[in-house]
Structure 1
């Protein structure tokens, strides 16, 4: 029963953050889900709920999506998804988490110091590829997008809508690949079903918060999310 209460709190907070900023469900949800469930179950619960969240939200914000950027991210992610599933199944995920965590912290500091990134089509593809790799391997696609979009100065409305549309594809593809190669469990789907009500409660609250968040506050929240992710990945890699 305690695990269910913790699950509800995690999902409520994570979905609120995801809906109000476009990021945060995996970044906040995955670390805490790993405290109460085995790694593969936690990653799959996170992915299932992320698909539900993105599917619900995309109908409300689909007109705000940057379609050309979305297509490049999706195309870039395909190769990353394939490499990521091999990491998920066979390679040392701890080493990957350590490397990614260190890079996120370094790049976040550079962003705080006003690092700017000039967007190009090749960088769009590369960002999608790295994000795809992290999705199938550790279930966290957000940091590459967050770093890239923040450095490029993309406005919060386009950022939120485009990333949610991208997540819908990349999470679904990742879930299919994980189940095909690594299987799933009945408990994974039961806990995912239990988490649906708090997920939608967080979505409703997050939409209200989004209207109140300024671009400056949005940027600060972005940096906090990135720093938290980097520290978490480093700490849990040892």
Structure 2
């Protein structure tokens, strides 16, 4: 079952370019606590994106990218600390709620960028802060980042390259923070290694489909999938937490 989950997450990311870590983390939290699910999702997301780093360096927009990363660096310690100290009973619905908000942002119709790159630079730091916090707490940094980048004035090549390197940096920093808090160990590595092959296969299959099939609205399909997963997990985890507290 977990192999199918990893394959599906890889398929969505290979096809759409986003959604891998959110789908994998949400699915894993049905069987393991967030303190296991989120680091494993971050590990696999980092490994599976490694082949894109060299190409992304050529299109990376440094003024905006560095501001995004600076905001992320401030947020990651806060998010990793919350992930390690909050009880799993209440952390699971918190993560699900963050992902549900993120899926709503994905479903929100993006508007045409009305600002130039220079005008949008001052928003890069808070966007990186929000994305870094969501990434380190819930493996859900994509929606806040993409919400900003779609309105930043960057062209498609710069947008994609900046997002790839930002996600790599934020995943690596979040994992480093978890390791420093002694919240990353052999349990996470073993589960990540076991799911690596289906995740890679799904990623390749998604890229293959991307060049041969274009649905009417990819944003709606992925957003609806994430909303359904996060909504279901939020309801079930809240009911479990409330029953345990009574």
Root mean square deviation of aligned Cα: 3.2
* Kept after mapping to 2: 8 A contact 1:14/1:24: yes
Instruction: Rate the CA distance shift 1:204–1:108 in 2: closer, same or farther, 3 A.
Output: closer
Normalising by structure 1, report the TM-score. Answer: 0.79
Larger radius of gyration: 2
Q: Secondary structure at the match of 2:167?
A: helix
Q: Could you list the runs of 5+ residues in structure 1 that have no partner in the other structure?
A: 1-5
Once structures 1 and 2 are overlaid, which stretch shifts more, 63-72 or 47-56?
A: 63-72
Corresponding position: 1:40 with 2:35: yes
Listed as ranges, the matches of 1:103-118 within 5 Å are: 103-104=101-102, 107=105, 111-112=108-109, 118=114
Cα separation, 2, equivalents of 1:229 and 1:211: 27
Normalising by structure 2, report the TM-score. Answer: 0.77
Corresponding position: 1:30 with 2:25: yes
Counterpart for residue 170 of structure 1: 170
Counterpart for residue 142 of structure 1: 142
Q: Could you list the runs of 5+ residues in structure 2 that have no partner in the other structure?
A: 239-246
Listed as ranges, the matches of 1:90-109 within 5 Å are: 90-91=85-86, 93=91, 96-97=94-95, 100=98, 103-104=101-102, 107=105
Cα separation, 2, equivalents of 1:232 and 1:159: 32
**Superposed displacement of residue 170, structure 1:** 0.5
Higher normalized helix content (fraction of residues): 1
* Kept after mapping to 2: 8 A contact 1:27/1:229: no
**Superposed displacement of residue 106, structure 1:** 5.9
Counterpart for residue 129 of structure 1: 129
